[in-house]
Structure 1
Amino acid sequence: MTLRTSAALAAALAAFCAAPALAQNAPAASPVPSPSATPLAEIGRTVVTSDRVAEPIGRSSRPTFVVDRPHLDAYGARTLGDALGDVPGANLFPYGAFGAQVDYGLRGTTSAETLVLMNGVPISSASNGITDLGTLPLLGVSRIEVVESGSSTLYGSSATGGVINVITGGRVQPYARIAAGSLGDRDAAAGTSLGGFSVFIERRVATNAYAYPSFHTSLTDATPAGTRANADAMQSAVRLAYDRALGERWRLHAGADADAYHAGVPGSLAFGLTPLARQNQNRGNVAAAFERYGDRDTFTATLSGATQNLAYGDPSIGGEYDTLDRRVGLSFKDARAWGRSDLVAGLDLARENALLTFAGTGAPLAQTQAQSAAYVQFGRDLSAATRITLGVRGEHDAPIASALIPSIGAITSIGAARLSANYGASFRVPTIIDLYYPGASNPSLKPERLRNADTTLAFPSFGGGVSLGWFGRHGNNLIVLDDNFIPQNTQHASVEGLQFTAATRPLFHVRASASLTDVYRALDTDTGLRLPRTPPVRATLALDRPFDGGRFAYGARALVAGSQGHAPSAIGVPDAYATADAYLRYRFGPASILSVRVRNLGDERYTAVPGYPEPGRTFSLELATR
């Protein structure tokens, strides 16, 4: 698809005026998901990520989107990468089919600048500071909250673009699912709750052998058509959860999850295939949160731990490269309210270790980073229609640097409209690989420092909700690779954009939604070139008919992404593309649903990452109890 076609289709979507509505501008309602799929920004729910405290979504000034469990079930999302496909402003860069890495960003940021949490606890690896969304399973997930605003005051390093919080828990009815589809994809999952305990298991395998056409793998060269091989993947995952009251004022939320993943790594077409390269990964996360409820406050203490072991081997290069990451964290938070004021304050402590082993280079490399931070955010209702928040965070990241991060936010209602705005600082600490990787590191790196601003005008009661927002991000010391692949603090960046979202009310049970994100400015101000992986246009359009008491549910969604720009040393230019997915579901029993899904209806062939072709049209058939 050409950029001109993409822009035309994006303009049509904007004219349609029906996007996943920005959910922060709505009255409060129960956080329990409805039994039917709903537009992404379902109006009226409680969120816990925007201000790091449970609150009605309309009370926060930070733009927040919610992907609920029914929406995940309707489109058959299996990984976090699948789940974020139609979140406005979220950019995904997959390296292939299931099992391949998926990079990500919010409103023009990179993976390293977007913080991923599970139940409020960071899960990014210690070595490179990112999470592989392409293999992170969704078993036991009740919803996903996406905050698209600089959030370093509350969450610290790497929350420049915002926060993706994967929330698990909640009692579930016994359920089971089996599915089969194209590319040899087979999936089975089950889960149940008993008392305060819940258990979820999943097994998935795929051969992922698919043909691809000729692609440009550099600015001048092309690679001939062929078949993607050595891309098979298999994964087993389990999650345990416990949620129970401990007396009248205490409650315990605890969870543990683990997954084992094995896959081929076929490599880039630009550099030549790696037919013998394999990768094994084992991940584990555990967390326990103790909550004490007072008359005016809630105190929470959370203890967490995470480990990730990744082994990459290729006989053609003579050995194996291993990465072992470990993280332990302890946090304390107190949220209290009095009169027309409220306060959330806390302490975050964490220690991360990485052990890197390189084939044929002798002793492994061991490095440690530690974080200690205190934060506070004060909120005040100036009137029934106006609220402000003031926050500040002090953080020390040993052995690198310290930072003081302020923020301010406001939200006010003017008739049927609601206006919100935020301004604050953010930062990102260099990772262990940035600082210490042999031959490709720079121990003199400093943290990235940025200024973030956003404002949104929303009409919650117009149709299913309509909003128009502006966002901007300006910073220095941004870390980029030079021509020798050595990270340097050389980039000064300026990003600005507009975001439009809207949704219709149900008409004959059918709901329409759409979004348009226009990053009209994304410049490296030192070179004048556009920042890599910043599509100027990203638009979505969806029509969904949930069950609503009937036997049939169906829906379809389309995504348009414009040309993503490139730096001078880039391997190639990512394609502009347009794809569409569709599903049809039939409930033939109280807990029996047959689903048929088609992804990439138009069989669009493109590379979201140069050198890594995406598969074409695929099908799946699923039998499930929900």
Structure 2
Amino acid sequence: MHHSFRVTALTAAVFAAFSAHATEETDPAAVVVIATRQPSRISSLTTDVTLIDRTAIEEAGPNATLGDLLTRVPGIELSRQGSRGSPEGVFIRGANTGHTLVLIDGFRASSATLGQTAIESLPLSQIERIEVLRGAASALYGSEAIGGVIRITTRPSADSPRLDVSLGAGSRGAQEASLAHAGHFGQFDYALRLSDSHSRGVSAITNQSSSAFNADKDGFWRRTMALHVNWRPSEKTEIGAQWFETDGMNRFDADGFPPFGPPASSDWQTRHKITNYAAHAKTQLVDNWSSELRVGRSEDNSVSTPSFTLGQANDSFKTRQDQFVWQNDINLPLGKALVAIETLREEIASTNIYTGTQRTTDSLVLGWNGSAGAHSWQVAARHDDNSQFGGKTTQTLGYGFRFAPAWRISANTGTSFKAPTFNDLYFPNTPFVGVGNPALQPETGRSQELALHYEEGSTQASLTAFRNTIRNLIQWEESPPGSFFYTPRNVGQARITGWTAATSTRLAGWTLGGHLTVQDPKDTDTGEYLIRRAKKFATLSLGQDTGRWSWGGEIQGSGPRYDAPDFFTKKNTKKMGGYGVVNLHGEYQFDHGWSVFSRVDNLFDKRYELATSSTTNYASLGTTVFAGVRFVLK
């Protein structure tokens, strides 16, 4: 194991065993929605949840990506093919990137052709808080929630500063500007937020032996706009609407295999736009019954230029998801019940001609959670009726017991699934590429976890053991062998076992935290480790807030990982080494709302990789520096 990772892992383990205080991000009294779909205190939950608040988001810096921030959460690893702005994927407890459901203000915002959300397109300047649920959650949320769920809440209109302006610049031409204004009059409140960022970046591919190598800089730009409007005619009723849009372009390196496609010297780029429209109305019908109606549309539009297809100008993929949710929360003599009805209609359009372009899923969700004395519980069941593959029912069951004032244990078990993507099902018959398979069935998962928690005052620490078995994994296989023609089938199986120790501490103005994950993520068919996933990874953080000054940093470490299995034997042959990086951040508050901030990532210029292929090594950033100024008018 890499020496720098040994140090990080050992220190995090020591913190996990002996820490005594908690930070705000993991405060057991904090309230989250993700675990039950109803507001619940973290200390009352049986599931494994992390809350990232606005303070932690600001400490990450506006130059950071959502993927960068999520790697500081227990149990999460990152994959990225190049510098910031390149496609990102996260692995929660070793599950595939497509096994994480991402919600933006409660709605799906993903590509139905790829089956995952472009998290690299979501700027931190627009995010108020992030809730992360580890473990199977299809019983609450449906498809994709095999490894976990990430719930992103954009910055609201209520309780926001009247004016929030930020400007910053840094290494490799990085620049970020954001402007936000919020206000209220009478029963109405509103917020408008704008942001713009760009960077020259670095060349996405580092090895000249790759046929896709191009020494140009592969940078990105991104512009984001959001509008929130709410009306509260009474204490029991709220009606609101919101619009969120992020539009950006990322350059990358590729090889179109001339004369069949463009050469590697082409200006390869992808324009990506994500748009969310939503409206909601919630009211308390009677003292023990509240109801909320939410409707929304999300769009994911990706256009890559030039096209990999001869004679075509670009490759375009557009997903539109219309979503309807009616949720009812009912206070019972013991606990609280959840009854929800949902409809999801997915539709795609592309420069490729798919044999199927739309499907509908109707869902019923039932839940019951609560506590009585030393006991707590979470129960949920969901049935999804999908127009493509039929019905799917999932369940989850959790129990917690507080056996001493500061100590509790919890256990959870649940089932989960992921519906096949439109690429899996309906990809057009393409020579030397392949064709989709409409007969595919969903991937399925079953997970168990057992956790020990310690909480007293501002204290929190936990040790969680987990096991996730995933079956019917969809794999594209060459058929017949040697044809370079691939068809997807339900043939794969994976089993991921492991444990995570997490803790944080606050003492005399100092904040410390750490987490360590040890896992065994294996393909049970081949016996090989799942690609891009380490057996061990950890983070250790330290910070101090003295009033005007706040500063801190973290050490992040990962053990070795594998990528790009051998084409014929399926054995892991390409190894990515372990690494450890050190990041620093600081801020100084002036009078009258002004402040300056700075951040240094990868302080010691460590060279490492987050992704490779059989012939290509993708770049990661070396040392980066970013600094700026912020003005906030309360």
Deviation at 1:239, TM superposition (A): 0.4
Q: Distance in 2 between matches of 1:418 and 1:514?
A: 20
Deviation at 1:243, TM superposition (A): 2.5
Q: Distance in 1 between matches of 2:41 and 2:543?
A: 25
Q: Which amino acid aligns with 1:593?
A: S
Q: Distance in 2 between matches of 1:151 and 1:19?
A: 31
Q: Does structure 1 retain, via aligned residues, the 8 Å contact 2:417–2:444?
A: yes
SS class of match (1:527): coil
Query: Aligned residue for 1:289?
Result: 280
Deviation at 1:17, TM superposition (A): 3.2
Q: 2:296 aligns with which of 304, 311, 319?
A: 304
Any residues of structure 2 matched to 1:143-222 within 5 Å, and which?
143-168=129-154, 169=156, 170-173=158-161, 174-195=163-184, 196-209=189-202
Q: Does structure 2 retain, via aligned residues, the 8 Å contact 1:584–1:595?
A: yes
Query: Aligned residue for 1:11?
Result: 10
Count of aligned pairs: 596
Q: Distance in 1 between matches of 2:594 and 2:257?
A: 46
Query: Aligned residue for 1:505?
Result: 506
1:240-283 per-residue CA deviation (whole Å, 9 max, x = no partner) reads 01233133421123211112212212248999945421211222
Q: Does 1:335 align with 2:324?
A: no
Q: Distance in 1 between matches of 2:599 and 2:379?
A: 46
Q: Distance in 2 between matches of 1:585 and 1:378?
A: 44
Residues 490 and 226 (structure 1 numbering): CA distance in 2 closer, same or farther, change over 3 Å?
closer
Identity among equivalent positions (%) equals: 24
1:210-230 per-residue CA deviation (whole Å, 9 max, x = no partner) reads 698659xxxxxx769998524
1:27-70 per-residue CA deviation (whole Å, 9 max, x = no partner) reads xxxxxxxxxxx564234211111100112222221111011101
Bigger mean CA offset, 524-533 vs 301-310: 524-533
Q: Which amino acid aligns with 2:583?
A: D
Q: Distance in 2 between matches of 1:459 and 1:274?
A: 56
Q: Does 1:47 align with 2:42?
A: no
Deviation at 1:297, TM superposition (A): 1.9
SS class of match (1:52): coil
RMSD (Å) for aligned C-alpha atoms: 2.7
1:455-510 per-residue CA deviation (whole Å, 9 max, x = no partner) reads 21010128731110101111310112335553221112111110001112223x11
Query: Aligned residue for 1:84?
Result: 70
Query: Aligned residue for 2:527?
Result: 528
Any residues of structure 2 matched to 1:314-463 within 5 Å, and which?
314=306, 318=311, 319-358=313-352, 367-381=357-371, 383-415=372-404, 416-438=406-428, 439-461=434-456
Q: Distance in 2 between matches of 1:141 and 1:259?
A: 12
Structure 2 gaps, min length 5: 429-433, 479-483
Query: Aligned residue for 1:95?
Result: 81
Q: Does structure 2 retain, via aligned residues, the 8 Å contact 1:585–1:596?
A: yes
Q: Does structure 1 retain, via aligned residues, the 8 Å contact 2:72–2:539?
A: yes
Q: Does structure 1 retain, via aligned residues, the 8 Å contact 2:363–2:382?
A: yes
Query: Aligned residue for 1:277?
Result: 268
Q: Distance in 2 between matches of 1:188 and 1:366?
A: 42
Deviation at 1:86, TM superposition (A): 0.3
SS class of match (2:228): strand
Q: Distance in 2 between matches of 1:91 and 1:19?
A: 25
Residues 211 and 53 (structure 1 numbering): CA distance in 2 closer, same or farther, change over 3 Å?
closer
Bigger mean CA offset, 73-82 vs 525-534: 73-82
Q: Does structure 2 retain, via aligned residues, the 8 Å contact 1:39–1:513?
A: no
SS class of match (1:504): strand
Query: Aligned residue for 1:218?
Result: none
Any residues of structure 2 matched to 1:257-272 within 5 Å, and which?
257-267=244-254
Q: Distance in 2 between matches of 1:522 and 1:70?
A: 33
Query: Aligned residue for 1:32?
Result: none
Residues 464 and 380 (structure 1 numbering): CA distance in 2 closer, same or farther, change over 3 Å?
closer
Query: Aligned residue for 1:26?
Result: none
Q: Distance in 2 between matches of 1:615 and 1:45?
A: 35
Structure 1 gaps, min length 5: 24-37, 216-221
Q: Distance in 1 between matches of 2:18 and 2:212?
A: 37
Q: 2:96 aligns with which of 98, 102, 110?
A: 110
SS class of match (2:26): coil
Deviation at 1:309, TM superposition (A): 1.6
SS class of match (1:292): strand
Residues 486 and 212 (structure 1 numbering): CA distance in 2 closer, same or farther, change over 3 Å?
closer
Q: Does structure 1 retain, via aligned residues, the 8 Å contact 2:272–2:301?
A: yes
1:298-344 per-residue CA deviation (whole Å, 9 max, x = no partner) reads 11111010112211112685531111111101011111112223201
SS class of match (2:125): coil
TM-score, normalised via structure 2 length: 0.88
1:501-539 per-residue CA deviation (whole Å, 9 max, x = no partner) reads 1112223x11110000111x2221121111223211110
Deviation at 1:19, TM superposition (A): 10
SS class of match (2:67): helix
Residues 138 and 254 (structure 1 numbering): CA distance in 2 closer, same or farther, change over 3 Å?
farther
Q: Distance in 2 between matches of 1:571 and 1:177?
A: 46
Residues 401 and 575 (structure 1 numbering): CA distance in 2 closer, same or farther, change over 3 Å?
farther
